[in-house]
């Protein structure tokens, strides 16, 4: 990052939505980084941000060991926006009062701005709007110098000390469940922080090509390529920077969708890089034999992947550099902040530190997913790759609930292919959709025969960020068609169900 670049710090107190905040800020043309909430004040001063945003979090300010920040933050003269727990912490630290243990508010709630309208709510012109609330504690007395700027039926929904440029909201403007949330950030950035808004991706490719060449010199670079968006864009960027020095290893673990391994091979065999496909299907299946627990499955697949990759890279001889398609959220996730682990994600980027390489190249590590897609388009990757839906590292192995066998994988592959055929071209296509083999059998009737066979679940979600989602309202006619095709084209399936759960409380994947 150049010293002259405007920076907004997102201080993390364990909130699920910290990345959405940072991405919302970047989407408004201001560079943002997520840092731990207890970041030392000297470090903050050194970075000289134009604004600070304090995230929400699961704690209560009165809980022993709850995350805190250096109180001096509020005296730096830098505008601060506290969100949910960030609001509690700001008010508590500055002498206000937080009351714990009430009934709280969850879901979309009407927020009514107070007069005179806060600069944050100018876009709503003081009219009530719907906002996502997810809190138990509330601010019950404001610190000296603060005024209430919005309320709900049960709480102080926002407050501020405009003179000191300290702002706080109880709700979550970073989620799409809050109407006009982006405008609230825009007003904070451009009115309170006086941002110029100069952050853009245009010069990213040239800068990275230069940095990669400088770092690797004449050395060879090895990339673990999954065919997903991140590793594909990484491969493309590297093949532009060091085309004759790049080797891409694609480990086919056998948990890919129908024909997917061949498609990946077809695309990358044509590009300016050395492409090696490792067919490791059998050894992965053997490793998972009889394993039903989701977390164990994820761990074993991750470990086996590393083993295969180590073996293959050893065969190559002199390759001093490892490239990884790590993106910014991967770095934030592994930063060891205050959040709770919900699932351990496996990516091809998740390689151990003891691999023997002189250096690691991670040219996408400053970017969010949608920024990576923009870059992919600029690099000329085909649309089907750039717009690809997320596909988990452990692949179909975590979409077969319980233990995994080749037979089950084949059933799931067929069902998934039918689902994709039916949904790929529809208007208002869901953001992610796939089939799940539920590991449940049910009674059915085919012809005049009683059957007792597998239940397939369809999962289709609407989401912008893949961190929260709503189930997709697929028309019943389409659902009926999918169900009828799956049950008639796959003999061992006699029932199809549709998953109508949002996230939270469910997750996108079943395991």
Interaction of residue 186 with ligand XMP, rule CB under 6 A = no
Q: Which residues are catalytic?
A: 84, 172, 174
The packing angle between helices 260-269 and 229-241, to 10°, is 10
Residue 149 or 347 having the CB closest to ligand XMP: 347
Interaction of residue 329 with ligand XMP, rule CB under 6 A = no
The helix/strand/coil state of 301 is helix
Which of 134, 509, 465, 466 is closest to 344 using CA atoms? 509
Interaction of residue 466 with ligand XMP, rule CB under 6 A = yes
Interaction of residue 390 with ligand XMP, rule CB under 6 A = yes
The pattern of x and - marking residues 412 through 441 that bind ligand XMP according to CB under 6 A reads --------------------x---------
Interaction of residue 325 with ligand XMP, rule CB under 6 A = no
Stretch in the footprint of ligand XMP (CB under 6 A) among 46-54, 260-268, 390-398, 491-499: 390-398
The first and second tokens of residue 401, run together, are: 């609930």
Candidates 6, 137, 174, 509; binder of ligand XMP (CB under 6 A) is 509
Candidates 15, 96, 261, 393; binder of ligand XMP (CB under 6 A) is 393
Residue 61 or 508 having the CB closest to ligand XMP: 508
Residue 155 or 348 having the CB closest to ligand XMP: 348
Interaction of residue 345 with ligand XMP, rule CB under 6 A = yes
Please state the closest distance from residue 208 (CB atom) to ligand XMP, in A. 22
Please state the closest distance from residue 433 (CB atom) to ligand XMP, in A. 10
Please state the closest distance from residue 388 (CB atom) to ligand XMP, in A. 11
Q: Burial-class residue 314 by CB neighbours within 10 Å (0-12, 13-18, 19+).
A: exposed
The helix/strand/coil state of 490 is coil
Asked if residue 349 lies in contact with residue 365, where contact means CB atoms within 8 angstroms, the answer is: no
Candidates 56, 325, 394, 430; binder of ligand XMP (CB under 6 A) is 394
Strand extents, DSSP E, 74-189: 80-83, 97-99, 105-113, 129-135, 138-141, 147-151, 156-161, 166-169
Interaction of residue 334 with ligand XMP, rule CB under 6 A = no
Beta strand 105-113 pairing with 147-151: antiparallel
Q: How many residues bind ligand XMP (CB under 6 A)?
A: 14
The packing angle between helices 204-216 and 229-241, to 10°, is 70
Q: In 53-199, which residue ranges form alpha helices assigned H by DSSP?
A: 85-93, 181-187
C-alpha 18/C-alpha 29 separation (Å) is: 17
The helix/strand/coil state of 381 is coil
Please state the closest distance from residue 45 (CB atom) to ligand XMP, in A. 36
Contact positions vs ligand XMP (CB under 6 A):
343, 345-347, 390, 392-394, 432, 466, 503, 507-509
């Amino acid at each position: 990052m150049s010293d002259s670049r405007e920076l907004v710090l997102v201080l993390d107190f364990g909130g699920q939505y910290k990345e959405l905040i940072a991405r919302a800020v970047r989407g408004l043309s201001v560079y943002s980084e997520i840092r731990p909430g207890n970041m030392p004040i000297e470090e903050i001063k050194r970075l000289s941000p134009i604004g600070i945003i304090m995230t929400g979090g699961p704690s209560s300010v009165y809980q022993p060991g709850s995350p805190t920040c250096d109180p001096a933050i509020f005296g730096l003269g830098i505008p601060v926006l506290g969100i949910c727990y960030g609001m509690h912490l700001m008010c508590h630290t500055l002498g206000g009062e937080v009351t714990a243990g009430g009934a709280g508010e969850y879901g979309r709630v009407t927020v009514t701005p107070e007069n005179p309208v806060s600069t944050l709510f100018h876009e709503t012109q003081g009219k009530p709007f719907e906002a996502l609330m997810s809190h138990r504690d509330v601010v019950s007395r404001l610190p000296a110098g603060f005024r209430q700027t919005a309320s709900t039926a049960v709480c102080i929904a926002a407050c501020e000390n405009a003179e000191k440029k300290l702002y706080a909201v109880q709700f979550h403007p970073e989620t799409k469940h809050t109407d006009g949330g982006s405008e609230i950030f825009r007003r904070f950035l451009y009115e309170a922080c006086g941002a110029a808004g100069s952050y853009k991706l245009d010069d990213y490719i040239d800068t990275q090509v230069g940095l990669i060449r400088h770092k690797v010199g004449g050395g060879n670079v090895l990339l673990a390529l999954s065919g997903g968006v991140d590793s594909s864009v990484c491969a493309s960027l590297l093949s532009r920077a060091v085309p004759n020095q790049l080797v891409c290893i694609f480990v086919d673990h056998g948990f890919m969708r129908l024909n997917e391994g061949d498609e990946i091979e077809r695309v990358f065999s044509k590009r300016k890089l050395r492409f090696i496909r490792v067919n490791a299907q059998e050894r992965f299946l053997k490793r998972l034999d009889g394993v039903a627990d989701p977390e164990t499955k994820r761990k074993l697949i991750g470990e086996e992947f590393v083993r295969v990759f180590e073996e293959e890279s050893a065969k190559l001889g002199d390759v001093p550099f490892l490239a990884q398609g790590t993106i910014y959220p991967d770095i934030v996730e592994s930063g060891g902040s205050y959040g709770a682990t919900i699932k351990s994600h496996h990516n091809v980027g998740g390689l151990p530190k003891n691999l023997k390489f002189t250096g690691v190249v991670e040219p996408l590590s400053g970017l969010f997913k949608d920024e990576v897609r923009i870059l992919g388009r600029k690099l000329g990757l085909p649309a089907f790759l750039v717009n690809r839906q997320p596909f988990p590292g452990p692949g179909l192995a975590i979409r077969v609930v319980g233990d995994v066998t080749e037979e089950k994988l084949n059933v799931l592959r067929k069902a998934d292919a039918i689902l994709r055929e039916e949904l790929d071209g529809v208007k208002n296509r869901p953001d992610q959709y796939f089939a799940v083999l539920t590991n449940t059998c049910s009674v059915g009737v085919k012809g005049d025969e009683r059957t007792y066979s597998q239940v397939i679940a369809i999962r289709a979600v609407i989401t912008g960020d893949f961190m929260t989602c709503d189930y997709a309202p697929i028309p019943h006619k389409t659902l009926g068609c999918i169900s009828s095709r799956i049950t008639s084209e796959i003999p061992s399936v006699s029932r199809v169900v549709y998953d109508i759960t949002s996230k939270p409380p469910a997750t996108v994947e079943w395991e």
